[in-house]
Structure 1
Amino acid sequence: MSDSSDQSVEADGLTPKQRLEPPNTCLINAGIMTINDMETLRAFVAYEKAHQQRVQILRRLDDRASELRSEDT
């Protein structure tokens, strides 16, 4: 992973920018659902906070974090 969260490429080859800036919310939600670890999720939260700070997207990322935590227990 590179130092810049908007340029880092995750295991599936998509950057936070590619997952969080598609043309419609269905694609954004699908991108969020494919996040499978907290490190990746943190990179996406950092990207969103640094760029657009959309409350709905941050809320969805928070929901995904809760889902990942519950899967670990």
Structure 2
Amino acid sequence: MSDSSDPSIESGGLTPEQRLEPPNARLINASIATIHDMKTLRACVAYENANQQRVQILRQLENRANEIRSEDT
């Protein structure tokens, strides 16, 4: 699993860059779908805001956040 002492590596052992910069959209979609915690999701949002600022990706991350929140209730 991930090394919790290294903040650059999030759940699943992937960094936000690895999740959001694969060569095609299908891999990005799969990476977002496999986010299971808000810490990882926030790191991905921060990465996207600091780098690409793609509205579609940010919208997918927002939808995933809503799904995670609904799973927690």
Normalising to structure 2: TM-score of the pair?
0.88
The count of aligned residue pairs is 68
The separation in 2 between residues aligned to 1:11 and 1:32, in whole angstroms, is 12
Q: What is the identity percentage for the equivalent residue pairs of Structure 1 and Structure 2?
A: 71
* TM-score, normalisation: structure 1: 0.88
Contact preservation (8 Å) 2:19, 2:28: yes
RMSD: 0.9
Segments of 4+ moved more than 3 angstroms? none
Distance across 1 between alignment mates of 2:20 and 2:71:
23
Structure 2 unaligned residues grouped into runs of 5+:
1-5
- Provide the rounded CA distance (Å) in 2 between the counterparts of 1:65 and 1:13: 19
Instruction: State the SS of the aligned residue for 1:53.
Output: coil
The alpha carbon displacement at 1:12 in A equals 1.8
User: Whole-Å Cα distance in 2 between the matches of residues 18 and 33 of structure 1?
Assistant: 14
